[in-house]
Structure formats: C-alpha cells, structure tokens
C-alpha cells in the first residue's frame, strides 16, 4: 500500500482536466498494481473490475499514475481499453 505524497502541478492539472478526484488517486495508490522501472520510477495502475453484463460491448476504463523515484506523482491518466 502506497501513500499519497507530493503531486506535481502537471499531475494536479491533468487530474482536473480528466475528472480524477484526490479520492480516486488515494484508492489507486492503496489498491493498484505497481510496476517498478530501472530509474526508480513507478507506474501504479488499476484496471476496472472484471467485465460483467453491465460492461458488455463497452470499453473498460483503466486508471494509472506515474511516480518518480522520490514518490512524487508526475501525471495521472484515465485510459479506455477496448475489449480483448
């Protein structure tokens, strides 16, 4: 479980543009999967729950954040992934 640290001005701006709340970022950091990079940075991502009948034929959202080696959130993105 990661804790929310510093958020860069760019990340905060992107969150506002993309409608991503601080609560959503807290949830992402607490429950997301982490991929570590060679430079110490991390990508934390959270896929949507398994598609059920309500998601049939609809794209699935994916939330992710990019953090630097010090744990500062550099950017946050909400992507839509089309079905496999």
| Digitized pLDDT (tens) for each residue of the chain, 84 residues in all | 566 678 899 999 999 998 888 888 888 888 888 889 888 899 888 875 555 555 555 555 688 899 999 889 999 988 765 554
CA 82 – CA 48 distance, rounded (Å): 12
Torsion of the alpha carbons at 25, 16, 74 and 46, rounded to the nearest 10? 30
Tell me the sheet residues that pair with 7: 73
Judge contact between 81 and 23, C-beta under 8 A: no
**Domain assignment of residue 65, yes or no:** yes
CA 11 – CA 78 distance, rounded (Å): 12
**Domain assignment of residue 3, yes or no:** no
**Domain assignment of residue 22, yes or no:** yes
**Domain assignment of residue 1, yes or no:** no
Quote the pLDDT of residue 48: 58
Q: Give how many domains the chain has, as a whole number.
A: 1
User: What is the span of the domain harbouring residue 39?
Assistant: 9-81
């Amino acid at each position: 479980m990661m804790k929310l640290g510093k958020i860069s001005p760019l990340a905060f701006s992107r969150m506002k543009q993309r409608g991503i709340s601080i609560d959503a970022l807290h949830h992402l950091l607490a429950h997301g999967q982490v991929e570590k990079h060679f430079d110490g940075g991390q990508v934390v991502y959270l896929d949507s729950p398994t598609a059920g009948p309500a998601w049939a034929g609809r794209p699935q959202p994916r939330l992710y954040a990019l953090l630097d080696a010090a744990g500062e959130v550099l950017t946050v993105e909400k992507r839509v992934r089309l079905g496999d």
